[in-house]
Amino acid sequence: MTELSRRHILTGAAASVALAPFAAASVHAAAPLSGKQAPSFYRSKLGDFEITVVSDGARAIPLPATFVRNISNEQVLAAAEAAYMPKGSIIAPFNPIVVNTGAKLVLIDTGYGPGLGPTVGLLPFTLAAAGIDPKAIDIVLISHMHGDHILGLKTPDGALAFPNAEIKVPSVDWAFWMNDDNMSKAPEGFTKASFGFNRKIFSNLADKVTRYDWGQEVAPGVTAVESSGHTPGHTSFVIASGSGRLFFQGDVTNVPELFLRNPDWQVMFDHEPEKAVQTRRRIYDMASAEKILVCGYHFPFPGLGYIEKAGTGYRLVPAAWSPVL
C-alpha cells in the first residue's frame, strides 16, 4: 500500500510529465480548456422574497504598513498568510445583492463599475447571467459612499447604469461626503480619493438622489439600521419577509478571516476607527445572539453566513450552499 507522503505529493508532477505521450495517443479529441469562470451569482429565498447575491468581482489588496492602524504589519501579514491569501495581500470580494420583493427589484450597492481592472466591475455581467435587467431595478440602496459601493451607479460614459431606479443614500454620508469644506480638509490617499469618487458620481445627481435616515423603511421590507464608524453614515439593512430575516452588514467589517476574528483591528478604510470597533462589537453581539443570517459585502462569495463568538472575537459560519432554490 502506498502511503501519502511528502515525497509522494512532490513527485506527482514528474510522473505527470512522464505520462504526457500516453495522453497524446488518446483516441478522443483533446478537450479544450474552457477558460471561463461560472457566473458568480447565488439565490436564496427569504420569506416571499428572492435574494440574489450578484458579485462585482474580487481583488487583491496589498498590505502596506498602514493597512491596520493599531496592529503591526508583521501581525497583519501573518494573519493574511494564515488565511491562505496571496503573499502580501488579501482577497477582497464585492457582493452587491438584489432583493426581489415580487413587486420591487431593489439593488443594494453597485460595485466599482467597469473599467478599473479585469477582476472587478463585473456586476453588469453577473446581472445579465442572473437574468436581471438593469432597467428593471426600481430602487438602488447605497449602504455608504465609498467607491466600491457607488462607482457602479454610472456607466463608463457617465450615464445612469440603472436608469429607472430611485437612488437612495444615507443622509449622514451625503452631508459628510458632499461637503466641500470636508473635502478640502481630507487627507491625501483613500479619503481624498473617496471625495473625488462622490463628486464624479453625484455632482449632477443632487436633485435626483433620495437621502434616507436610519430607522426608515427604505424599500418594502428593508429597514435602514445605523452602523456608523466605517463612514459617518454607514448603514446596514434588515431585510424581512414572512419569518425570514437577512442582515446586510455592508462594511461593518471587512474580510472575516482577518477582521471578524479581530474586531479591534482598525483597518485603514474605517473613517472613525474607534467608533467602528464599537459598532462591530455591538452589531456582532446582537447578530450572534439573534442567530440572524448575515450578508457581508466583503465576505467570501456568496457572503452569507452566521456570526459566532470565538475567543476574543467572532467567526463566520458560512450558510449551507443550496444547489436548488
The least distance separating its own copies from the CB of residue 149, rounded to whole angstroms, comes to 17
Which lies closer to its own copies via its Cβ, residue 12 or residue 187?
12
Facing residues of 25 across strands? none
Placement of cell 474607534 in the chain: 274
Which lies closer to its own copies via its Cβ, residue 146 or residue 234?
234
Which lies closer to its own copies via its Cβ, residue 202 or residue 222?
222
Question: Residue 150 carries which side chain, given as an amino acid letter?
Answer: I
Where is 52: in which H helix or E strand? strand 49-54
Which lies closer to its own copies via its Cβ, residue 101 or residue 195?
101
Q: Are 22 and 30 a contacting pair, CB within 8 Å? A: no
Spatial distance between the Cα atoms of 51 and 171, rounded to a whole number of angstroms: 25
Where is 306: in which H helix or E strand? strand 304-310
The least distance separating its own copies from the CB of residue 196, rounded to whole angstroms, comes to 26
Which lies closer to its own copies via its Cβ, residue 22 or residue 187?
22
The least distance separating its own copies from the CB of residue 188, rounded to whole angstroms, comes to 30
Which lies closer to its own copies via its Cβ, residue 4 or residue 159?
4
Spatial distance between the Cα atoms of 218 and 169, rounded to a whole number of angstroms: 10
Q: Which three three-digit cell numbers place residue 24? A: 497524446
Secondary structure of the chain: what % helix, strand, coil (to 5)? 30, 25, 45
DSSP letter at 105 equals E
The least distance separating its own copies from the CB of residue 187, rounded to whole angstroms, comes to 26
The least distance separating its own copies from the CB of residue 195, rounded to whole angstroms, comes to 24
The least distance separating its own copies from the CB of residue 207, rounded to whole angstroms, comes to 19
Spatial distance between the Cα atoms of 221 and 223, rounded to a whole number of angstroms: 7
